[in-house]
A = this chain, B = another copy of it.
Amino acid sequence: MGQETYWASDPSELLRVREGFRLDEVDPRGTPGIDADKAAGHAALAEGAGILAELQEKLYAGNQMGDDPRRVLLVLQAMDTAGKGGIVKHVVGAVDPQGVHLAAFKKPTEEELAHDFLWRVRKQVPAAGRIGVFDRSHYEDVLIGRVRGLAPPDEIERRYGAINAFEAELAASHTTIVKVMLHISMDEQRERLLERLDRADKHWKFNPGDIDERQLAPAYRDAYQVVFERTSTEVAPWHVIPADRKWYARLAVQHLLIDALEGLSLEWPAADFDVAEQRARLLGS
């Protein structure tokens, strides 16, 4: 269950989408696997950050010396305000930026729309030794794509299979895939949107379109439910994270990354040069 000391039971297991999973049965205020308050949660986050940073350095090191081809891909999906940005800033932000490849998928451009939906996604796959982070992803094409009818139903239908094939191909090319949906309640979303409206330093985070999307929340939940049923696979399972408590969502995603990296049994790579010889050369220089 990892080096962390604060989990009572493994959130990777507790949060994984399995046969029979129902999104509407998840409590967005829950904290599965840990009994803590906000202060204890932040202390745990700081401990986890150190663990994650060292694992990430080993992943990167193994590629820099030894050409280890392995990589990790974190896929982040969520409704607005659920905390994707906070995950990027506070969880991913705790590791060396050199080893991270972050891709934010916004509304597709004309050029992107002229290609298959996976075209722009494939270009952002992390290089070996890196942790890739998708802030939104190819799942938008079966979420907003479905809810707003941006593509014909048979094309949407085709995409689930295409996604599974794409992810299987990634897994076969040494990519550990961590898929996360941050699940926030309607009440908590209202509070967070209100805060963005009530604070001048948060206005830039607000978009009137967020309320349009909010009004479609039931349709989005249905679309997510289909996503979980069709694309939670052995090599790329989904995890649904209760996200009303920011500290919990961050801690849980941090754990999933730690877990993914520990699963690789990373070691510092052996020197590919003669250490004594180089030491002598250095002292003579």
How far is it, in angstroms, between the C-alpha of A270 and the C-alpha of B200 when the chains are bound? 8
New contact pairs (12) apart from A203-B275, A208-B278, A208-B281, CB-CB < 8 Å: A61-B205, A64-B204, A85-B98, A89-B97, A89-B98, A92-B97, A194-B282, A200-B271, A203-B270, A206-B271, A211-B281, A215-B285
* Inter-chain contact B278/A211, CB cutoff 8 Å: yes
Residues of the B chain whose Cβ atoms lie less than 8 Å from the Cβ of A219: none
Some 27 contacts from A to B, beta carbons below 8 A apart, are A62-B204, A64-B205, A65-B203, A85-B96, A85-B98, A88-B96, A89-B96, A89-B97, A97-B100, A98-B104, A190-B282, A190-B283, A190-B285, A194-B279, A197-B279, A203-B269, A203-B270, A204-B268, A206-B271, A207-B273, A208-B281, A211-B278, A211-B281, A211-B282, A211-B285, A214-B285, A215-B285
Q: A93-B96, A97-B93, A268-B203 are in contact. Are A282 and B61 (CB under 8 A)?
A: no
Q: Could you list which residues of chain A lie within 8 angstroms of chain B, going by C-beta atoms?
A: 61-62, 64-66, 85, 88-89, 92-93, 96-98, 100, 102, 104, 135, 190, 193-194, 197-198, 200-201, 203-208, 211, 214-215, 268-271, 273, 275, 278-279, 281-283, 285
User: From A186, which residue of chain B is reached at the shortest CB distance?
Assistant: B285
Residues of the B chain whose Cβ atoms lie less than 8 Å from the Cβ of A204: 61-62, 64-66, 268-269
